[in-house]
Chains A and B, each alone.
Chain A
Amino acid sequence: DQQVKQNSPSLSVQEGRISILNCDYTNSMFDYFLWYKKYPAEGPTFLISISSIKDKNEDGRFTVFLNKSAKHLSLHIVPSQPGDSAVYFCAASADQAGTALIFGKGTTLSVSS
């Protein structure tokens, strides 16, 4: 059973507009949530994270929102740029479990100019 779900395989946005990528989870024990970005022929790179005790974390154009009651988080990119076109993975970490990150299946973002 998937613990981290990204239900939208793809998203298309125009340059300058907002991109919103969504992620749902089932395990209330997760301590941190991370977003990774992946370009073709490269490994995933860390983008932004949020602790389970917070509801928002902002870093430049990227903001992650966490709604614990709904077990839902979202990544907002404003304004979107063509260079943001990539696969975005949502991941969760449960420190008490002592295991690796649990990843969603990813959402492919395409930003057109």
Chain B
Amino acid sequence: DVKVTQSSRYLVKRTGEKVFLECVQDMDHENMFWYRQDPGLGLRLIYFSYDVKMKEKGDIPEGYSVSREKKERFSLILESASTNQTSMYLCASRVPQSNEKLFFGSGTQLSVL
């Protein structure tokens, strides 16, 4: 079975902290994505990566950065966490054909206090 694993299920951080959200996939997928999901707003794309060391901004990249040093791992970084970054964060991966489906992780519910 394909697997996308997000390191934390729940995370509580303080305003101003640097936060790392980790995602690992075991399917040798080139493409990886970070979304956030908020009630009433749906899923919004933060960043994506076509391959190792490549990254592209999505619709809402402000306040975030990413790292893709290895093919299987895609990290989302909140440089200085703020309360408006409290959200469910979802990682996904897929093969490098754009008409192929995404495989999602279980999500990380981040609360910034």
Instruction: Please determine whether chains A and B interact with each other in the same assembly.
Output: no
Using CB atoms and an 8 Å cutoff, list the residues of chain A in contact with chain B: none
